Structure 1
Amino acid sequence: MAEAVGGGRGKVFRVESGVVRRAKIWRAEVVLRVLEVALCLVSISVMAADKTSGWAGDYFDRYQEYRYCFSVNVISFAYSTLQVFSHIHYMIWKRHVISIPLSYSFDFLLDQVLAYLLMSASSSAAARIDDWTSMFGSDMFTNMLIGSIAASFAAFLAFAISSIISAFKLFSLNP
């Protein structure tokens, strides 16, 4: 990738090496993985803590859509945590946990699958919230669920960007 430096006729072109590009991609991937862990953990925590007391005490576990969203976030959290540990392992020992070609395919496949599952689960839960608030109004139970679903949608965005990076790694950096 060439980049123009300076102005006018005396432009100097600087070429970014493949090593620099890989380092930038690797850093972006690590940041996204940590973000995925954090967002999934927030979504799980808020949804699990969402209980109301009183005669109409509600709990997310009563509703299929919320259980689906919770389960997909748990799976996504586990996968992202393993990815973070894999990156830490590489930083310490300079060895990959899984061989490179297989790792790129594995990352691409799971990033795609989990991104679609997060979008599906978040959309399903959001539709249920919309029905609930249109019939009964908003309360603390629905507000906490909205926060959890928002974190789940944000996790989807992080997974979508990670899947773009993993696709780039699979199709262009694969030796």
Structure 2
Amino acid sequence: MASDKTQGWSGDSFDRYKEYRYCVAVTVIGFVYSGFQACDLSYHLISGKYIFFHPLRYHFDFAMDQILAYLLISASSSAATRVDDWVSNWGKDEFTQMASGSIAMSFLAFAAFSLSSLISGYNLCNRTTT
């Protein structure tokens, strides 16, 4: 979505609309968090230890998965509303097609975070204290 810029008469760009900026910002935050989680879990699979371990780790993982899932669905919905408004007023063009594709990927990221939230909730409820 960040590369979604057209050279047409309107000169549209994602950064002209706060809904798109919100969607990109939340997606970047989710991507960075997921990257850290992937590195930590990869390290755990290799060495049997976590990079960061704290007694509240399970609570943190569950809370972050929940927060990012809700932020992603909120951001995706607001961006989808902007695209729908654009299409109903001026019709489809390359800009709206690219934005729609980006929003679809954002909804997929929401689905991944909601699944991750279910898994981290299960881990939270079934953890063993050591």
- What range describes the TM-score normalised by the shorter chain of this pair? over 0.9
Q: Which of the numbers 104, 109, 113 marks the counterpart of 2:58?
A: 104
**RMSD, matched Cα:** 1.1
Q: Which of the numbers 81, 84, 90 marks the counterpart of 1:130?
A: 84
Q: Percent identity?
A: 55
User: Residues 133, 174 of structure 1: CA spacing in aligned structure 2 closer, same or farther, 3 A cutoff?
Assistant: farther
Report the Cα distance in structure 1 between the residues aligned to 2:128 and 2:24, rounded to whole angstroms.
Answer: 34
Report the Cα distance in structure 2 between the residues aligned to 1:121 and 1:174, rounded to whole angstroms.
Answer: 36
Report the Cα distance in structure 1 between the residues aligned to 2:110 and 2:128, rounded to whole angstroms.
Answer: 25
* Structure 2 residue 76 is matched with structure 1 residue 116: no
Report the Cα distance in structure 1 between the residues aligned to 2:104 and 2:57, rounded to whole angstroms.
Answer: 30
Report the Cα distance in structure 2 between the residues aligned to 1:130 and 1:174, rounded to whole angstroms.
Answer: 48
Match of 2:99, SS? Answer: helix
Matches within 5 A, 1:139-158: 139-158=93-112
Amino acid of the structure 1 residue aligned with 2:57: S
The corresponding residue for 2:34 is 80
Matches within 5 A, 1:45-60: 47-60=1-14
Unaligned stretches of 5+ in structure 2? none
The corresponding residue for 2:47 is 93
Match of 2:56, SS? Answer: helix
The alignment of Structure 1 onto Structure 2 pairs a total of residues equal to 129
Q: Which of the numbers 52, 67, 70 marks the counterpart of 2:21?
A: 67
Amino acid of the structure 1 residue aligned with 2:86: W
Deviation per CA, 1:27-55, whole angstroms, max 9, x where unpaired? Answer: xxxxxxxxxxxxxxxxxxxx012110132
> 4+ runs of 1 displaced by more than 6 Å?
none
Q: Is the 8 A contact 1:122 1:152 kept in 2?
A: yes
TM-score (normalised: structure 2): 0.95
| Deviation for aligned residue 1:173 | 2.3
Match of 2:102, SS? Answer: helix
Report the Cα distance in structure 2 between the residues aligned to 1:100 and 1:164, rounded to whole angstroms.
Answer: 21
TM-score (normalised: structure 1): 0.71
The corresponding residue for 2:113 is 159
Unaligned stretches of 5+ in structure 1? 1-46
Larger radius of gyration: 1
